[in-house]
Amino acid sequence: MDMQLREVAPASAHHEFVLEVNNFNVDYGVGENMVRAVNDVTLKLRRSQVLGVAGESGSGKSTLVYAMTRLLRAPGVISGGDVTLNITNDGDSDEVTPINLVTASEKELRQIRWSHVSIVLQSALNALNPVLRVGREFHEVLKTHRRELTKSQRHARSVELLKMVGLNEDRLARFPHELSGGQRQRIMIALALALDPELVIMDEPTTALDVVTQREIINELNELRSRYGFALIFITHDLSLLIELADEIVVMYAGAIIERAGASELYEAPRHPYTLGLINSFPPMHGDRRELTGIPGSPPDLAELPEGCSFAPRCPYAMARCLHEAPALLNIGDSDRSVACWLHTGDSSVTVPVELSRSSSPSRAHVTVLQDHT
């Protein structure tokens, strides 16, 4: 750890969380034509936890993580809130150093990026330099961040990283175009893990892949995570994939988080009408075939958001209140899940539809917990 980073007083109260985001806002453009792409997002990510971010295109999910990691370029502007990354110091996992990513200087960011936070992007073909052999990518990151390593040590580490993701070492001599999509994405994952980060962010890493390859990568990711214990933010539009992979899921719509819950709770007992609609948009693999309806209408244009709840125009349960007052993301009762919907504010005059008030079965929740600890 660099001296400069250590000067910040350690705050042990936060060590449970690797990332804390508070009231975070991101805009595109300024002034009149400004579009708010991320609206008042607050979330916390525990160490070694998998946070799934689900949402459709334009929901702000990618903008959120790019802004969070300060990768967002103009005209994207962070217009409010803060992001705290609690990094552990080597050798002592109890002591953490909080870094405010919003105010961090380029120099500080350089020390954090890749060593503490790394990112895997959707298109592995575009992320790898087409004129460099894969081995060069590994050597360059190790040369920059691990200066103490000799050339042969760097090579050994590269081979080790490839083995981790199930690739043979002869891939190091290949160019990206000689590899399949799945192999390229594996290389990206290996690169992201090269410096043992505490937090890995993956933006639609499997969307461009076939379902069989996606399954292999997800299984591998689960194994790597249980072995190395990094926290993971996994962004995708595929809610059914997240339900399998994530511990906790946030669902985004029109730039805001509209529901946050444990993965199996969210699937079995969705509270927001949009979440329910998304779940019902995936045709099932079992049971009788019956007509599904999906969600009527189209995702909203962020430049012309409706007044009130942004989902109200597509919502089958919309009430008068929804059309002019936007609901806030609030905890439901005393549970630790939250939803932004007027149906769930505890108002006794509102009847919650039965499909939005199911309870999640305890047996499933138990199974999930057991899996987490293995």
Partner 1 sequence: MSEITTTPAQLSVRHLTRHFTTRVPGRLLHAKRVVRAVDDASLDLVRGQVTAVVGESGSGKSVLARMLARIIAPTSGELILEGTTIPAGAKRTLEYASKVQLVLQDPYASTNPVHRIRHSLERPLLIHGAKKHDVEDLAKAALSRVSLDPPERFLDRYPHELSGGQLQRVSIARALCVKPDVLLADEPISMLDVSVRLGILNLLKGLCDNEHLAVLYITHDIASARYLADEIIVMYAGQIVERSRGTALVDEPTHPYTQLLIASVPDPSDPTSQASQSDEHSSYAVPEVGCRFAPRCPFVMDVCRTTDPPVFQVGEGHTSRCWLYADRPEAVVEMALPERRREGETTKT
Q: Show contacts with partner 1 in window 298-317 (CB under 8 A).
A: 298-299
Going from the C-alpha of 183 to that of each of 176, 280, 326, the distances in angstroms are: 9, 32, 45
Q: Which of 100, 103, 180, 335 binds partner 1 (CB under 8 A)?
A: 180
Tell me the closest approach of the beta carbon of residue 86 to partner 1, in angstroms.
Answer: 31
For position 229 contacting partner 1 by CB under 8 A, the verdict is no
Q: How far apart are CA 330 and CA 283, in angstroms?
A: 30
Q: Which of 133, 244, 319, 323 binds partner 1 (CB under 8 A)?
A: 244
Among positions 212, 320, 349, 359, the unique one binding partner 1 when judged by CB under 8 A: 212
Determine which residue in the list 56, 82, 95, 325 makes contact with partner 1, applying CB under 8 A: 56
In this structure, the chain runs to a length of: 374
In the bound state with partner 1, the residue whose beta carbon lies nearer, of 45 and 167, is 167
**What is the arrangement of strands in the sheet containing 92-100, beginning at the earlier edge strand?**
35-46, 17-28, 76-89, 92-100
Tell which one of 290, 333, 346, 349 touches partner 1 (CB under 8 A): 290
> What is the per-residue binding string for partner 1 in 315-354, x denoting contact by CB under 8 A?
----------------------------------------
Task: Confirm or reject binding of residue 294 to partner 1 (CB under 8 A).
Answer: yes
Burial (0-12, 13-18, 19+ Cβ within 10 Å), 15: middle
Question: Cα–Cα distance between 351 and 317 in angstroms, integer?
Answer: 10
The shares of helix, strand and coil residues in the chain, as percent rounded to the nearest 5, are: 35, 25, 40
Q: Which is nearer to partner 1, 17 or 274 (CB)?
A: 274
Q: Is 53 in the site for partner 1 (CB under 8 A)?
A: no
The answer to whether residues 181 and 187 touch, using CB atoms and an 8 Å cutoff, is no
Cβ-based nearer residue to partner 1, 78 or 187: 187
Closest distance to partner 1 from the beta carbon of 284 (Å) = 7
Closest CA to 357 of 263, 268, 244: 268
Least distance (Å) between residue 241 CB and partner 1: 4
Shortest distance in whole angstroms from residue 62 CB to partner 1: 14
Task: Provide the pairing of β-strand 256-262 with 338-339.
Answer: antiparallel
Q: What is the DSSP letter of 218?
A: H
Among 151, 358, 364, 366, binds partner 1 (CB under 8 A): 364
To partner 1, the closest distance from the beta carbon of 124 in angstroms equals 13
Residues in the interface with partner 1 (CB under 8 A) total: 52
Q: Does 226 bind partner 1 (CB under 8 A)?
A: no
174 binds partner 1, rule: CB under 8 A? no
For residue 291, the tally of other CB atoms under 10 A from its CB is 4
Please identify which residue in 270, 277, 308, 327 interacts with partner 1, judged by CB under 8 A: 277
The whole-angstrom separation of Cα 218 and Cα 237 is 15
204, burial (CB in 10 Å: exposed 0-12, middle 13-18, buried 19+): middle
- What is the distance between the alpha carbons of residues 104 and 158, in angstroms, rounded to a whole number? 30
Restricting to residues 111-150, name those near partner 1 by CB under 8 A: none
Report how far residue 318's alpha carbon sits from residue 270's, in angstroms, rounded to the nearest whole number.
16
Please report how close the Cβ of residue 91 comes to partner 1 at its closest, in angstroms: 34
Name the DSSP class of 131: T
Residue 161's nearest CA partner among 187, 185, 181, 183 is 187
Q: Which of 46, 237, 345, 352 is close enough to bind partner 1 by CB under 8 A?
A: 237
Locate the DSSP E strands across 160-297.
Answer: 199-203, 231-236, 248-253, 256-262
Binding partner 1 (rule: CB under 8 A), the pick from 48, 79, 88, 240 is: 240
Q: For partner 1, which is the closer residue by CB, 90 or 288? A: 288
By CB under 8 A, tell whether 271 contacts partner 1: no
Please give the span between the terminal C-alpha atoms of the chain, in angstroms, as a whole number: 31
Q: Would you tell me which residues interact with partner 1 (CB under 8 A)?
A: 56-57, 166-167, 179-183, 186, 210-216, 218-220, 237-241, 243-244, 264, 267, 277-279, 281-286, 289-296, 298-299, 364, 367-368, 371
